Amino acid sequence: MKKTIFITSIFILLSLLTPSLSSTPTCNKNDEKALFQIKKSLGNPYHLTSWKKNEDCCTWYCVKCDRTTGRINELTIFSGNITGQIPPEVGNLPYLKYLEFRKLTNLTGQIPSSISKLTHLTMLTLSWTDLSGPVPSFISQLKTLNYLDLSFNKLTGSIPPELATLPKLIEMDLSRNKLTGVIPESFGKLSKTFVALHLSHNQLTGHVPKSLNISTIDLARNQLTGDLSLIFGKNKAIERADFSRNGFQFDISKVVFPKSLTWLDLNHNKIYGSLPATLTGLHLQNFNVSYNKLCGKIPRGGELQKMELTSYFHNQCLCGSPMPACSKRSGLF
């Protein structure tokens, strides 16, 4: 009898303990408060109906918690019917690592300065929205940032030179905005971690900093001018580059293309001279020099003859396979 009572009470005790043993820590109260402010600020949208009082906010839609601390570390609002501005209260989630507002065509206003308080951010994505105003220089205070994606918005003004000082940045995408001005000279001194820079589809002008040295670079569809020779060179990291549809003007025969180069688009510029023979030594997957002012025989070898004719057409007098043979009259055999 005694034994049965003992076992039963152990059983009851265990069943009482089990839920608290197996559950992760509940959401931090300050973070919950900030999330309710964010929800209210966005006009209590349908997208956030799972954000309810008396339910652990670690289980809510669009957020994630750190399992050990119960602090919110991810806020991802993607493709909802959200109208309004980015709530400044996002700055009250101090342990955020990922912050994302994406595919929200009715998200308007500027990027709020409270984001500068998020000193643990590793990824900031504000993309495919109707955000306007400048690319804020305070983003350079987010020293732990690895990925910055502000593409497909309506941002205006110039690129803040301070962004080049971010010590852990790997990739920056500011493409598809309305940015003007030059690529800051500071981008010639990016950190060693930096791999990819995307600035295409803007209205950037001026020259590209000569010491720029990264493996992936997309500057297509701007109004950039000047010489790209020094972006290439024996000791440069460049692997994939799109410089198409700009006003670049230089003699390509003098360029030293690094062995690492696999993907190059130079179409629609004012590049002149003949293609250097060193191009035949590259493992090119894509190569397009169409719509320039190039002349002379396409060097034979490597991948150059495997490219389509459209990679070479609309130049001054490029000839030889895959273009028509060089004519006797041109003196090019």
Ligand X SMILES: *[C@@H]1O[C@H](CO)[C@@H](O)[C@H](O)[C@H]1NC(C)=O
Q: Does 81 bind ligand X (CB under 6 A)?
A: yes
CB of 93 to ligand X, least distance (A): 24
Q: Does 130 bind ligand X (CB under 6 A)?
A: no
Give 175 or 267: the residue with its C-beta nearer to ligand X.
Answer: 267
Q: Which of 125, 202, 267, 292 binds ligand X (CB under 6 A)?
A: 267
Stretch that binds ligand X, among 49-57, 70-78, 246-254, 285-293 (CB under 6 A): 285-293
CB of 319 to ligand X, least distance (A): 17
Q: Which of 310, 316, 327, 330 binds ligand X (CB under 6 A)?
A: 310
CB of 235 to ligand X, least distance (A): 4
* SS3 annotation, the chain: CHHHHHHHHHHHHHHHHHHHHHCCCCCCHHHHHHHHHHHHHCCCCHHHCCCCCCCCHHHCCCEEECCCCCCEEEEEEECCCCCEECCHHHHHCCCCCEEEEEEECCEECCCCHHHHHCCCCCEEEEEEECCEEECCHHHHHCCCCCEEECCCCEEECCCCHHHHHCCCCCEEECCCCCCCCCCCHHHHHCCCCCCEEECCCCCCEECCCCCCCCCEEECCCCEEEECCHHHCCCCCCCCEEECCCCEECCEHHHCCCCCCCCEEECCCCCCEECCCHHHHHCCCCEEECCCCEEEEECCCCCCHHHCCHHHCCCCCEEECCCCCCCCCCCCCC
Q: Does 105 bind ligand X (CB under 6 A)?
A: yes
Give 70 or 209: the residue with its C-beta nearer to ligand X.
Answer: 209
Q: Does 237 bind ligand X (CB under 6 A)?
A: yes
Q: Does 213 bind ligand X (CB under 6 A)?
A: yes
Binding site for ligand X (CB under 6 A): 81, 83, 105-106, 192, 213, 235-237, 267, 288, 290-291, 308, 310-311
